[in-house]
Each structure stands twice: as C-alpha cells, then as structure tokens.
Amino acid sequence: MSWRKVLLPAAVTVAVLAGFLVYRAAGHEECTACRRPVSERTATFATIGGHKVLFCCPACLNSHSRQTGNDVNVVSLTDYASGAMISPASAYIVHGSDVNYCARGPVRVDEHKHALDSHYDRCAPSAIAFASAAAATRFVQGHGGHIMAFSNYALKTGSRARTVR
C-alpha cells in the first residue's frame, strides 16, 4: 500500500473537520427546529422539558410550539439593535416587518424560470426582538410591522411559549 492512498483520505478528512470547526467557531449555530443557521441578531434561547434549545428567531420558536404542542420556556431573546441578550419578560417584538434573517436564500423557480410563491415559512411573518420600545419604533419606521410585548406576541400567535423571569 502506498502512502498516498493513506495520506490523501486522511488529509481530506482533517480538512473537512477543520472547516466544520471553523464554521462552528464563527458562531454559525443551527436552529433546533428548522436547521437553518442562526443569526446573531435574532438568536432565541429556550428550554423544552428541561433541555436547552436554540431557535433561529422568535417566529420559529412559536411555530415549533404550535406544531408540537410543547410548552416552551423562553429564556432569552437577542436585541436586534445591539446584539445583546435580553429578558423576554421585558422585550418588544416587531411582527411582520420586511426584515427576515431566516427566510432568505435562493428564490425557487418553476420550469420557465418564473419565481414560485412561498405559501408557508415557519419563520414568517418575521418576529424581531428589541430591548426598548424606542428602538422598535425606529425600526418600524424603516421596515414596517407592528410592535407588541413578547408575552402578547406568543398569545396572539397561539403559541405555548412562556417567558422565564
């Protein structure tokens, strides 16, 4: 057996593993529910049955709760303006703006290259968290949407998400 037959696969394996580790170290965590990369601007932390879980955004968390019927304890949200972790008990949500970090990606097209309409996305309409009502108001002026307390957002969307104080 030649050394090339041994070293080449080993080198490829090491390179793939190193790439994966760099990707993870760069903060590209994966959403528990939809497996999309989690943006640092919308990361949402919760527990389900005592297990820590990470969601890509509050909208995905609510979709997960509605679909599974699970009680979801929301531990912290990310303030879109600063990137800081904030308590869901005092957070504001902008619901339905034109900003959605999760539902981005290549546009699906039909056989004639016409864009297909998206009928459902678990992260839409978007839900973006803010620490202050003033920052949420400034955001809505540029991107639309409606401001509400996080606790009202969960109730309005039929989720079983509960805030942890």
Chain positions contacting Zn ion, by CB under 5 A: 31, 33-34, 56, 60
Q: How far is the CB of 59 from Zn ion (least distance, A)?
A: 8
Q: How far is the CB of 111 from Zn ion (least distance, A)?
A: 30
Q: What is the rounded radius of gyration, in angstroms, for the C-alpha atoms of the chain?
A: 19
Separation in Å, CA 94 to CA 13, 22, 67, 76, 115: 44, 33, 22, 16, 27
Q: How far is the CB of 60 from Zn ion (least distance, A)?
A: 3
Nearer to Zn ion, 28 or 138 (CB): 28
Q: How far is the CB of 47 from Zn ion (least distance, A)?
A: 16
Nearer to Zn ion, 61 or 86 (CB): 61
CA distance 47 to 103: 24
Q: How far is the CB of 1 from Zn ion (least distance, A)?
A: 46
CA distance 15 to 99: 35
With beta carbons less than 8 A apart as the criterion, state whether 12 and 3 touch. no
With beta carbons less than 8 A apart as the criterion, state whether 149 and 159 touch. no
Nearer to Zn ion, 60 or 136 (CB): 60
Q: 88: which 2 tokens?
A: 């869901």
Nearer to Zn ion, 92 or 101 (CB): 101
Could you tell me how far CA 100 lies from the centroid of its own chain?
9
Nearer to Zn ion, 127 or 140 (CB): 127
